[in-house]
Amino acid sequence: MRKKKPLLSLTALMIIFGIMVSIQFNSLQKPKVRDTRDVWELREDLSASKSKELDLLKEIDKYDEMLKKYGHQGDQSKEAQLTKTLKDLKEKAGFTEVEGEGIEIEISQLFSKDLTGEEVKNIPPDLLKKLINEANMFGAKHISINDRRVINTSVIRDINGTTKIDGYSLDSDEVNIKMISEQADKLYSRLNVSDIGDLFAQENFSLSMSQPKKKIHLKAYDGAIQVNELKPLEDVKEGKS
């Protein structure tokens, strides 16, 4: 009698991959009720969306090739490959702790209230999103803000005058951003020559970037993810062998 364990494992893999595709698709397609962005923000968001779409197409091609190879492998090889693939998917989704080369960025107030005469304000959400978009374009693979992991569905917005990421406030005196990249030197150089620092300065914030570090540790994403595009299949019949 033929074993069904590899088939079940493959089914589980495809469900997980479907969720990942849905999450990324949702992050690309989610409409905004009111768009108040200016030209440079629209261009940055468009560029980031195109980059995400390209990455998604590459992932689809990758797993399509992987499925073709499964047909030529033995049961043990399939199980080993499925286990590795599941681990890779979790890491890319932000569900596991990661460690690698990268940089740290500290964002703090540039001038005090005594000098400006104005109350200390929160970092504008759009400015944080621009920084993240640029970092992604420059090769950042994993990002966290105040130890909160940033994933494709993360939401950074202003709620009652307080900037929040996935519901967590970023109203501390300093905001710490960690980024892991396969080319940390390139990420550091590209962000250094970018105008992002000037944009933060215009809002009275200082952006201080560390030299590339050999070891940066990021915690796993610990929030809940809602997937609306996936629906359970009914009357699924097993293919004939």
Question: 16 lies in which domain range?
Answer: 5-93
Q: Within this chain, do residues 191 and 105 fall inside the same structural domain, yes or no?
A: yes
Same domain, 165 and 186: yes
Check whether residue 117 and residue 162 sit in a common domain: yes
The structure tokens listed for 16 are: 């997980």
113, 233 Cβ separation under 8 angstroms: no
Tokens matching residue 21: 């595709």
pTM of the model: 0.66
**111 domain residue, yes or no:** yes
For residue 48, the model assigns a pLDDT of: 66
Q: Please tell me whether residues 212 and 170 are part of one structural domain.
A: yes
Q: Say yes or no: 120 and 170 in one domain.
A: yes
- Work out how many domains the chain is built from and give that number: 2
pLDDT at 199: 95
- Do 128 and 203 lie in one domain? The reply is yes
Q: How many CB atoms lie within 10 A of CB 113?
A: 10
User: Are 111 and 192 found together in one domain?
Assistant: yes
Return per-residue pLDDT of the chain as tens, 241 residues.
444 555 555 666 666 666 666 655 555 444 444 555 566 666 666 766 666 666 766 666 676 676 666 666 666 676 777 777 777 777 777 888 999 999 999 999 988 777 766 777 789 999 999 999 999 999 999 999 999 999 988 999 999 889 999 999 997 778 999 999 999 999 999 999 999 999 999 999 999 999 999 999 999 998 876 655 556 555 544 444 4
